[in-house]
Amino acid sequence: MSDAVEDPARRSPLLQLPGAVAATGPDAGVAWHYGDPLAEQRAAERSAVLLDRSHRGRLVVTGEDRNSWLHTVTSQHLAGLTDGTATEALVLSPNGHVEHHFGVTAVDGVVHLDTEASVTAALLTYLDRMRFWSKVEIADATGTQALLTVAGPQADAVLRAALDVASLPGNGAATVIEGGWIRRADLGTLPGWDVSVPADRLGTVASALLAAGARAAGSWAAEALRVTTRRPRLGLDVDDRTIPNEVAWLDTAVHLDKGCYRGQETVARVHNLGRPPRRLVLLNLDGSQDRLPEPGDAVTTAAGRTVGRVGTVVQHHEDGPVALALVRRGVEPGTPLLAGGVDAMIDPADAAGSTVERGADRIDRQGFREVRRS
């Protein structure tokens, strides 16, 4: 778990909403929930929720070489980046390990990057060091720009009404609005859009979205929905040995036909062999125990052999306590495990070649405990 401490200067105005409980750790500065976190998750699946992501770190890249330069220092194909494009990218170590993950949005001749608050300074330092003679400028815009997310079946209608926009961008696209932009950003299987606004207009825009029918939801709800769709988060679900092939970022933040970037040899070799050493899975946890594991705890077999590490841990409104974990490739569902000493099993949807729909299979808790006792 990150030891991040909330900076009072970056405390979101949405923490003044009724019922708001402040988050700690990597989500310090925004609400953990607004009084009923499980109802907030249900609202995301049935209507529309407003998620405060104003604590995200923000960088802006300008200059005539911005696209070709970003192409050379990241895992994504950005050489031909055009305004109105949204994607993701990674910075890898020479050995292919993930060092940074960030969103990339190009509008009006500027490339906007957003990442975890705890690594914003490190990403800025790295990018600045890699400029050399390129005609680019990089600036920290964290204090001037803020991010909101609207997600759920009714998100489209809420955004159209609140922001008076005729249409919303599709996958991989972004459009300009007054003072900012909108990009498609689904929350797992739920349709969603990120809205970037000037930080001093965050409260005003949020109020308009709430008035249009969105329900305020905290980071607890966002994390629960993210975890059940196996979307990793930097600082929680990856360690210093993680390569993109082990997590969902190989599909969203890496261009496999691109060469000549740091760490590319490892990514290509493992992709061609098809055998990453670990994989990201969903763990169903035994909720009858009086505690839950912490991020970074070991995942072990009943015999005590370490086979992985715990990532994000959260209470889901239907699945109960669940967690993401990086486990060795050969560990299959049905294997009794311990996650930080708590009984756990890999979700059936994560079996090799499984046709079980992720999120559709609800764990039988009684059967879970009987398997553990056998």
pLDDT digits (tens, 9 = 90+) for 11-27: 899 999 999 999 999 99
* pLDDT score of 329 more than 70: yes
Q: State the pLDDT at residue 8.
A: 52
Token digits of residue 271: 């992709």
Q: What is the rounded average pLDDT of the residues 255-260?
A: 88
pLDDT at 46 over 50: yes
Q: What is the model's pLDDT at position 260?
A: 85
Query: How far apart (Å, rounded) are the C-alpha atoms in residues 78 and 51?
Result: 28
Average pLDDT, the chain: 92
Give mean pLDDT, residues 180-195: 95
- pLDDT of 332 reads 87
Strand partners, 194: 149, 183
Whole-angstrom Cα distance, residue 313 to residue 285? 9
pLDDT band at residue 6 using 50, 70 and 90 as cut-offs: very low
Cα 37-24-324 angle, rounded to 5 deg: 65
Reading phi first (left if > 0) and then psi (alpha if -120 to 50, else beta), residue 233 is in: beta
Per-residue CA distances from 206 to 123, 147, 185 (Å): 28, 10, 17
Q: In this predicted model, what pLDDT tens digit does every residue of 236-246 receive, in sequence order?
A: 999 999 999 99
Give me the pLDDT at residue 10, please. Answer: 75
Averaged over 300-326, what is the pLDDT?
97
- Within its chain, how far is the Cα of 172 from the centroid? 16
Q: How far apart are CA 370 and CA 374, in angstroms?
A: 6
Order of all β-strands in the sheet with 57-62: 85-92, 98-107, 110-115, 57-62, 137-140
Q: Which domains are present in the chain?
A: 8-56+143-227 (3.30.1360.120), 57-140 (3.30.70.1400), 277-373 (2.40.30.110)
E strand intervals along the chain: 21-22, 31-33, 49-52, 57-62, 85-92, 98-107, 110-115, 137-140, 145-151, 174-177, 180-184, 192-198, 215-217, 278-285, 298-301, 306-316, 320-328, 337-339, 342-346
Residue 91 near residue 29, CB atoms below 8 Å: no
**Cα 89 to Cα 170: distance, rounded to the nearest angstrom:** 19
Helix (H, G, I), strand (E, B) or coil at 247: coil
Q: Measure the CA–CA gap between 61 and 115, rounded to whole angstroms.
A: 14
pLDDT for the residue 5 = 43
Query: Lowest mean pLDDT: which of 54-63, 162-171, 270-279, 360-369?
Result: 360-369
Q: What stretch of H or E contains 227?
A: helix 219-227
Spatial separation of the C-alpha atoms in residues 102 and 115, rounded to whole Å: 5
pLDDT tens across 134-187, in order? 999 999 999 999 999 999 999 999 999 999 998 999 999 999 999 999 999 998
How far is Cα 153 from Cα 249, in angstroms, rounded to an integer? 25
Share of the chain above pLDDT 90, in %: 85
pLDDT at 371: 45
